Chain A
Amino acid sequence: MPRRDDISKIMLIGSGPIVIGQAAEFDYSGVQACKVLLEEGYEVVLVNSNPATIMTDPEFATSTYVEPLLPGPVAAIIEKERPDALLPTLGGQTALNLAMDLSADGTLEKYGVELIGANREAITRAEDREVFRRVMNEAQIRIPWSITVESVEAALESLDSGDATLPAIIRPAFTMGGQGGGIAETRDELVDVVGKGIAASPIGQVLVEESVIGWGEFELEVMRDHNDNVVIICSIENVDPMGVHTGDSITVAPAQSLTDPVYQSLRDIAIKVIRVVGVETGGSNVQFAVNPADGEIAVIEMNPRVSRSSALASKATGFPIAKMAAKLAVGYALEEIPNDITRATPAAFEPTIDYVVTKIPRFAFEKFPGADHRLSTYMQSVGEIMSIGRTFRQSFAKALASRELDANTPVPESDAGLLDEITVPTPERIDLIMAGLARGVPVEEIHERTHIDLWFLRELALLATEGDGSDGAELIYNSVDTCAAEFEARTPYYYSSHEAPGSPSEVRRGDRPSVVILGAGPNRIGQGIEFDYCCVHAAMTVRDCGRDAVMVNCNPETVSTDYDTSDRLYFEPLTIEHVLAVCEQEKPDGVIVQFGGQTPLKLAQGLKDAGIPLLGTPVEAIDAAEDRGKFGALIDRLGIKPPPYGSAMSADEAVEVAERVGYPLLVRPSFVLGGRAMEICYSREDLDAYLEQNVKASPDHPLLLDRFLENAIEVDVDALCDGEEVCIGGIMQHVEEAGVHSGDSACVIPPMSIGDEMLDEIREATSAIALELGVIGLINIQFAIAEGGLYVIEANPRASRTVPFVSKAVGSPLAKLATRIMLGGKIADLEMPQANGSHVSVKEAVLPFARFQGADSVLGPEMKSTGEVIGIGPDFPTAFGKAQAAAGVELPGGGTVFISVTDTDKPAATQLAARFHDLGFNVVSTGGTAQAISRMGVPVETVNKIAEGSPHVVDLIEEGRCDLVINTPTGSGARADGYEIRSTAVRHGIPGLTTMTGASAAVRAIIALQKGPGDVYSLQELHAG
């Protein structure tokens, strides 16, 4: 059956903000689906709250709603748009859960919306652990024993009755990335993990199951069409055996250690699973545990949707799973769709590859002091890299190089110490294993400690001792072609390979001039999807300008590494060596380093030294902006003030400089992104503690000390400059005061409380700095307004994290305009952003604290958010409320608010308490704050601090007697109570606000919420004229 004609308008739900377990891969899959559906002539209604996605660019849908991914707003969109069908399988767990909610509450039925791809029954069979177990048992598919419980008591009863044994794995129902799950080896751990899991599950249910820790872990990506034809797209083998979440495991494709009969058994079972679960069309992922001793196979789980693994499988094989899933959902059969890459053969086949693919996750534990580094069954990584090599060793060596690690892992001197450390899976384990192998620790001993398959360990030992086997070989580029060269590849997707001398390169470089765009590498906190968004825009623009866009990147989760995005894609590590090799092959007109965050900027000097032309802002300007001395002199010439600052080459000098600059101080190492190791020091003691704990200051790595402007309003500006003229893209006012990293702060366009005169001063300062630096392209400048004066905090002559948000808010694609300027365009000739319409746009950060057990949820100068959402409304409170809702902070309409603040915040807190009281909230507080509130005449219930004994504030939160927590940290570092309060709130999913400005914005948002739900707007409507 070809394309369905009985539906014409299809709703697609995105995955929302980037969070751990659900990242940019769903922008990749969503973009593919949107493109396909539009090409097929359908109207597409897209909903996604994440502005930093390509899919929410207006050209990828008929109507684009950047609204909260919650049943209310989505139902409002359905009512307004009346789609015929909803495709829920391309937006991760978020979209799947939302579709289930809309089905359960009758919305879909009410408006006659058909679920396509997977229906409610199939989703339930895959997602509800109990139902899944029953279905698998009926189909006689071996799964680990398991029981579903909804209370800790029930789990203990099963343990006592022998239905359950230890160690056991706990998985909460309906969560993604295994959030809230874990391993229990003792009775106490069982109580703890089951309790947490029940809290994390939206339906309060967890699965307790047989531990198959140490078994080999495998995944198969499966596709099925409505004719019941099923194909396997890719097999993936985890280097880390069962026990580490697959998202946190190093994985390899295809499976390396399986014999043909065992692989075929996995294949047969995977096909059976997708059939009995009943996913009608599209992709699914089936996870297996295989006992290495006897080949016994157990099915662990299946995802009835495209997933992080399917994105990886698509990049690993060249088979675009999401694109095919969208086509299958609208009626096509696999045999009716041509294979994109060969064009001569149909998509009804199984890709076979002639290379090895490695994925290594990227972690961010350094951002969360106190968090436990151990890897477990819930995902904690924030990004990943993929590499392609002709041999396992080549692939793995490239993967290690792609990681861009900031620090080397310290290796224990004794083998015994090393073996002890690798017994526990951690992000550092692979480096320890490599170090051990390099110095001759026997593979058998490492195997005994890690259960990593001996095949992998022997390969790694070869890599550690003899290298990747590239000596004497020649570097060439091969194609990724889905078919191991059986047919000719039409798609320009390449990877480098070291082959015997004289081997031909497969790159088909035409005569058109090319521009190389360097991507952002692995997603990490501080450098995420926003930069990929900009890189994709650069590629689109380069193509529009008649040149070949050439993309270099190693992040499989991205749109930039979709082979459709550029004219040629090189899936390569972003190291100088690999980038220069691409340039040697391409002989480009120029390289763009402005869009991929710090990753390509770090390569700029090396490229320039090698004689490679850089497009846009010259290296000197980048240096002038990053070098404190040079930048200080530059703004001094322009008569613009920075906060008092200094830099120090040693600890002693730091103390001296601190006295001169004055406390409080913002202290950080130079050349960092996302505020790594950045802290506010209020006193000499704080500074001493910082110097003790952090990087040692040295002449090569000076320490920067800035006066911290307390209670300042922070402002971010994104602007374009062509060397002669400057155009302001957007001025964003931060909701949180200065001191909270700009990436973690909510911000609003247009600015809410800045006078016209000050705005003019900001515009002038921006222009002056951009022109003086010699920016060609984008610049981001952060200002602080304190005591009525304007201070420049920093300038970054590159695309910033806020470019996608500003572009969506003002309706003008800044990165595309910047690319045109870099290619020689002039602002005078381009269509520049106009003043906004009447709407207000708020960006809110999304924080991962719930993922990191033991981490404090307080905001500070070190960036901690993984993603962002946008809220658009007619006024600030409405937009802010939407942004909060989209970020998963469900502001309560009433109930109990707990307020406890630092002394300086007490005056503001009393005002706040009064307003909450007026809104009908009960106000609860501790000691000093309660007194202050009471003095205002506001009724307040006093609760004990922790030290005052139970029942205290943490008990209050634990018992669920609190709906909102407002707690500002004290600056002095004495923060035990606050830490407990915040982390308890995070654990119980109670919204917490840690700044007074954030809290006061929340009050206004609650007022707006009490008036009823806001209207929904499509971007196309907002920017129609």
Chain B
Amino acid sequence: MNPATPGYVLLEDGSRFDGILCGDPGSAVGEVVFNTAMTGYQEAVTDPSYAGQIITFTYPMVGNYGVSREAMESGRAHARGVIMRDARNGDDAASAEGGWLDWLGANGVKAITGVNTRALVRHIRDKGAMRGAILAAAVSHAEGAGLVDGEPRMAGSDFASRVSPDEPIEFDGDGPHVVALDTGIKSSITDQLCRRGCRVTLLPSSSGAQQVLDRDPDLIFLANGPGDPAAVAGVVETISELVGKRPMVGICLGHQLLCRAVGLETFKLPFGHRGSNHPVKDLETGVIEITSQNHGFAVVGPDGARKVEGDEPVRWQTDVGEAVLSHINLYDRTVEGLRLPDAGAMTVQHHPEAGPGPRDSRHLFDRFIELAS
């Protein structure tokens, strides 16, 4: 590591949190969010859903077991920066192929350690997620504030198209053919599909409906991804053309996009859900699963309500018939999943693939595949 360079985190409301720079030198600007998981730092940073964001890890010791190819959720780092309390660069763990800070540096991720992340998180929790920057101490407050102001707000930002592949990517399999609109799919998702024998094709998110149908999918998959679902109008349009034509499932951003495509609204959560401990109740079985979460927006429930009271699988109308509430978040009672029986579609807001986080919901992939048959 280079000699300690003092730095700070500056938020758009002027709050400042001091620390020591590490990782890739230079300034990072983005939406500052926090993740409460205690493991899975490399998975988080390589999750395309974090594009445009700076992740604050609430767990203070980050980097304990180094980095490895196995932990990559995509081909590269997507978060712009990471904010930590006590970062580590060791690679002693048997599974480690390198040190965390070296890896951040090599992957262009700006990082800062020694920050009172708890104070920062409490601030975001109270005031909401906001834009901010990781800056060297040499950068003046005014200069930093200018950088932060120059960054577009997350609401209204389309990051999904930026993380989508330019060309289709194919994975062989003997089972149903799953065609995904790749708005930033995590490799754990493709992995779960492939493990179940699916043949998987990832298409650029700009693909039109016909291009999807030309692939003759048994199941259309709407991937996770970054940014505001309302800003991805093109994909929503494609989905509305496809919905009902083939069975369709969505995860996270995919869930939001499908909901928008059938006439449901999305809204920005005050500080999002990011972590590995959120309880989600499956209203069909009554089972509570501890889930991996990473989203800043959510879908409204019946009558446009942001919170759903009661644990009933309530039904309400969409453009393609009834929606049936299938999952609910027990922390803030937001919509976590629904079925569109008339359209042969189901979606969840959380991450059943885990990677990182609990695997309680992985069985949902079996339900997804059932839809295809």
Contact = CB atoms under 8 A, between A and B. Distances in A.
Nearest to B122: A485
Given A392-B86, A499-B116, A259 B60 contact: no
Given A231-B290, A260-B71, A485-B122, A351 B277 contact: yes
B357 A256 contact: no
Interface in B89-124: 90, 92-95, 114-119, 121-122
Given A295-B95, A392-B61, A346 B357 contact: no
Nearest to B61: A392
A354 B117 CA distance: 9
A458 B58 CA distance: 22
A349 B330 contact: yes
Nearest to A501: B18
Contacts of A1020: none
A493 to B, nearest CB: 14
A12 interface: no
B66 to A, nearest CB: 9
B86 A349 contact: no
Nearest to A478: B118
B92 A458 contact: yes
Nearest to A350: B277
Contact of B125 (A349, A453, A486): A486
Given A392-B86, A484-B36, A354 B58 contact: yes
Interface in A247-292: 254, 256-261, 263-264, 267-268, 292
A292 B34 CA distance: 30
A340 to B, nearest CB: 15
A245 B56 CA distance: 37
A391 B92 contact: no
A352 B279 contact: no
B157 interface: no
Contact of B331 (A345, A391, A478): A345
Interface in B257-281: 275-279, 281
A270 to B, nearest CB: 11
Contacts of B61: 256, 356, 391-392
A870 B161 CA distance: 74
B38 A254 contact: yes
A229 interface: yes
B315 to A, nearest CB: 22
B60 A485 contact: no
A294 interface: yes
A393 B60 CA distance: 11
Nearest to A447: B92
A227 interface: yes
A483 B36 contact: yes
A453 B118 CA distance: 28
A440 interface: no
A268 B85 contact: no
A354 B59 contact: yes
Contacts of B71: 259-261
A229 B37 contact: no
B330 A485 contact: no
Contacts of A258: 39, 65
Contact of B39 (A260, A350, A391, A458): A260
B19 A484 contact: no
A254 B36 CA distance: 13
A324 to B, nearest CB: 14
Given A455-B92, A486-B36, A229 B116 contact: no
B314 interface: no
A231 B356 CA distance: 17
Interface centre among A228, A229, A260 (most CB of B within 10 A): A260
Contacts of A393: 86
Given A293-B94, A350-B290, A500-B18, A256 B277 contact: no
Given A267-B358, A390-B60, A500-B115, A346 B279 contact: yes
Given A345-B331, A486-B36, A499-B119, A391 B86 contact: yes
Contacts of A499: 116, 118-119
Nearest to A485: B121
Contacts of B59: 254, 352-354, 484
A478 B88 CA distance: 23
A412 interface: no
B185 interface: no
Interface residues of B, number: 54
Contacts of A228: 287
A258 B92 CA distance: 12
A215 interface: no
B93 A391 contact: no
Interface string B59-72: 11100110010110
Interface string A309-339: 0000000000000000000000000110000
B359 interface: yes
Contacts of A295: 94-95
A352 B276 contact: yes
A335 B330 contact: yes
Contacts of B304: none
B356 A260 contact: yes
Contacts of B17: 500
Contacts of A469: 86
Contacts of B354: 264
A353 B276 CA distance: 12
A536 B286 CA distance: 41
B94 A352 contact: no
Contact of A335 (B18, B117, B288): B288
A503 interface: yes
Interface string A351-366: 1111110000000000
A837 interface: no
Nearest to A334: B288
Contacts of A334: 288
A393 B88 CA distance: 12
A34 interface: no
A455 B91 CA distance: 9
B180 to A, nearest CB: 23
A252 to B, nearest CB: 10
B313 interface: no
Given A486-B125, A500-B115, A346 B58 contact: no
Interface string A212-230: 0000000000000001110
13 contacts: A229-B288, A260-B39, A261-B71, A263-B39, A264-B354, A264-B358, A294-B94, A295-B95, A335-B330, A352-B277, A353-B59, A354-B36, A391-B86
Given A259-B39, A486-B121, 14 more contacts: A229-B287, A229-B288, A231-B279, A256-B64, A258-B39, A260-B71, A264-B358, A354-B117, A356-B61, A393-B86, A455-B64, A485-B125, A487-B125, A488-B125
Interface of B: 17-19, 34, 36-40, 43, 58-61, 64-65, 68, 70-71, 85-86, 88, 90, 92-95, 114-119, 121-122, 125, 275-279, 281, 286-288, 290, 330-331, 354-359
Interface of A: 227-229, 231-232, 254, 256-261, 263-264, 267-268, 292-295, 334-335, 345-346, 348-356, 390-393, 453-455, 458, 469, 478, 483-488, 499-504
